A and B are shown apart, each in its own frame.
Chain A
Amino acid sequence: MLSPRGPKACGGGAADRQIHVLAVDDSSVDRAVIARLLRSSKYRVTTVDSGKKALELLGLEPNVNMIITDYWMPEMTGYELLKIVKESSELREIPVVIMSSENVPNRINRCLEEGAEDFLLKPVRPSDVARLCNRMR
């Protein structure tokens, strides 16, 4: 899963082409944590609290470089959001990362098979965000 590239200057890039990450989580605490983690790597971050709002935002702004979403959310799970993104011709190129507090191998495999870029176990840490930098679109 880890691509053997050499050291790369990772980070959000210059303001005019700043990498934009959409973070989806129904927990306000987790949204604050993931936003801070991503912003400290200089990414531009938008947070939403549901899959439905994520899709609304993507409809208006499809040039998102990565979607990072919680798995367990009411109404629409992260897995369901992943499927919709991967089935959409406009959105399917956007890498999707799933986060979960539970280490369930079946769940992880299903997400990866559906096209998830990576699966992070919560609590998310700076080292988790660092390894995503090569996966941005």
Chain B
Amino acid sequence: MSLMALREQLNGLVNSMFLEGLLDDQFEQLQMLQDESSPGFIAELITLFCGDSERILAELTKLLDQAVVDYQKVDAFVHQLKGSSSSVGAQHVKLACVQFRQFCEEHNKEGCLCALNVVKHEYYLLRGKFDTMLQLEQRIQAYESKQQI
């Protein structure tokens, strides 16, 4: 695939993510911070976000599996995930976390379990697209560095 076609594919993917609301304005702001002095910034950020999120989702699954749920701990983890998704511009994940916190406040176990599923769904949907995004970026960067030789 040509460099131009790769770039078009990447732009198309990112634009569709904005249109669907998976990403918000914060992600756009962060994209503008990537430049020649930090070409791997977005990739690094996405990797950190995914690592963090999966760790938190695993903790939440364990906590909600208990007979007696420690809602304070659950809330603390959801707060963390809400924070990092907000910082990265992961809008749907962030909104799912907001819902989740409400169920936490009410000590509603069923609600929390449901909300956890929604968060997982939104996160893995986003992660799939992030993976594609990073693969395309890597291919584009490989092309560009070849051209400079």
Contact = CB atoms under 8 A, between A and B. Distances in A.
A123 B26 contact: yes
Interface stretch (A11-19, A35-43, A105-113): A35-43
Contacts of B38: 36, 39-40
Interface class of chain B by DSSP:
helix
A99 to B, nearest CB: 10
The number of chain B residues touching the other chain, given as a range, is 20 to 34
Given A33-B30, A123-B26, A126-B33, A28 B52 contact: yes
A134 interface: no
B87 A40 contact: no
Contacts of A30: 83-84, 87
Nearest to A31: B48
Interface in B104-122: none
B9 to A, nearest CB: 26
A25 to B, nearest CB: 10
A32 B88 CA distance: 10
Interface in B23-64: 26, 29-30, 32-33, 35, 37-38, 41, 44-45, 48-49, 51-52
Interface residues of A, number: 17
B56 to A, nearest CB: 11
B86 interface: yes
Contacts of B30: 33, 36
A103 interface: no
Contact of A29 (B29, B33, B45, B79): B45
A101 interface: yes
A37 B83 CA distance: 17
Nearest to B87: A123
Contacts of A101: 79, 82-83, 86
Interface string B72-84: 0000000110111
A27 B29 contact: no
For B26, B38, B84, B87, the residue with the greatest tally of chain A CB atoms inside 10 Å of its CB is: B87
A125 interface: yes
Interface of B: 26, 29-30, 32-33, 35, 37-38, 41, 44-45, 48-49, 51-52, 79-80, 82-84, 86-89
